[in-house]
Amino acid sequence: MGLQMKIMPTALHGVFVVDTQPFNDHRGAFTRLFCGRELASILGGRHIVQINHSRTTAVGAVRGMHYQSAPHAEMKLVRCLKGRVWDVAVDLRAGSPSFMRWHAQELSPDNACMLVIPEGCAHGFQALEPDSELLYLHTALYAPDFERGVAHDEPQLAIEWPLSVVDLSVRDQQHPRLPIDFPGLHL
């Protein structure tokens, strides 16, 4: 079975797309969702300590842009199990060569890609199909007191959402704008 994971860097420092094409035969398909050995170069000694699942019902709904601040900053590995999403990472790290830039990747079961989002990057997505489901692997436990966010429509970021935004949670509506002279996160 050709189940190796192909790791591809993006324009954002430390953000990767991992291609994990399924093995298909007459019975259906088999896909490796995670392999610590193959992802060791990305994980760099980190361990997956929490796995979450979300379902977003409305097409056009946005969840994000979320991150956890130090000392509970986390790397996220995100893949779509059902439907299709426009998954976005934003680099908020002070001194990063890709500071204040974003990368978007369509994720779906058909393309079998995973987006790897390191500490100091905000994450969010827009549902492109109804009842889209995501699987999140985290390198830090959820710490509500360190939960942070940035407005999905922050002008300094100018994220190009493919659809009109139709649904935001109350929490996501309250994410702050970045100050004009945003210094970035220090991890």
Residue 67 is a catalytic residue: no
Residue 14 pLDDT exceeds 70: yes
- DSSP-assigned letters across all residues of 108-152: -TTTTEEEEE-TTEEEEEEESSTTEEEEEEESS---GGGEEE--T
Q: Tokens 């830090």 identify what position?
A: 140
**Residue 150 falls within a domain, yes or no?**
yes
Q: Tokens 């509506």 identify what position?
A: 173
Q: What single-letter amino acid sits at 119?
A: E
Catalytic residue among 136, 138, 152, 186: 136
What gap in Å lies between CA 123 and CA 102, rounded to an integer?
Answer: 10
**Residue 38 falls within a domain, yes or no?**
no
**Residue 157 falls within a domain, yes or no?**
yes
pTM score, whole prediction: 0.94
**Residue 100 falls within a domain, yes or no?**
no
CATH for 76: 2.60.120.10
Residues 6+ apart with CB under 8 A from 75: 43, 46, 116, 117, 118, 119, 138, 139, 140
Predicted confidence at residue 2, as pLDDT, reads: 54
**Residue 27 falls within a domain, yes or no?**
no
Q: What is the pLDDT of residues 61-89, one digit of tens each?
A: 999 999 999 999 999 999 999 999 999 99
Q: Average pLDDT for residues 51-63, to the nearest whole number?
A: 98
Predicted confidence at residue 185, as pLDDT, reads: 94
What gap in Å lies between CA 40 and CA 81, rounded to an integer?
Answer: 23
Predicted confidence at residue 21, as pLDDT, reads: 82
How many residues does this entry show for the chain?
187
Residue 1 pLDDT exceeds 70: no
- Yes or no: say if 21 and 2 are a contact pair by the CB < 8 Å rule: yes
168: number of Cβ within 10 Å: 17
Catalytic residue among 66, 123, 138, 175: 66
**Residue 11 falls within a domain, yes or no?**
no
**Residue 16 falls within a domain, yes or no?**
no
Predicted confidence at residue 29, as pLDDT, reads: 87
Q: What is the pLDDT of residues 76-135, one digit of tens each?
A: 999 999 999 999 999 999 999 999 999 999 999 999 999 999 999 999 999 999 999 999
Residue 136 is a catalytic residue: yes
Domain count across the chain: 1
Residue 37 pLDDT exceeds 80: yes
Range of the domain at 135: 52-81+123-174
**Residue 30 falls within a domain, yes or no?**
no
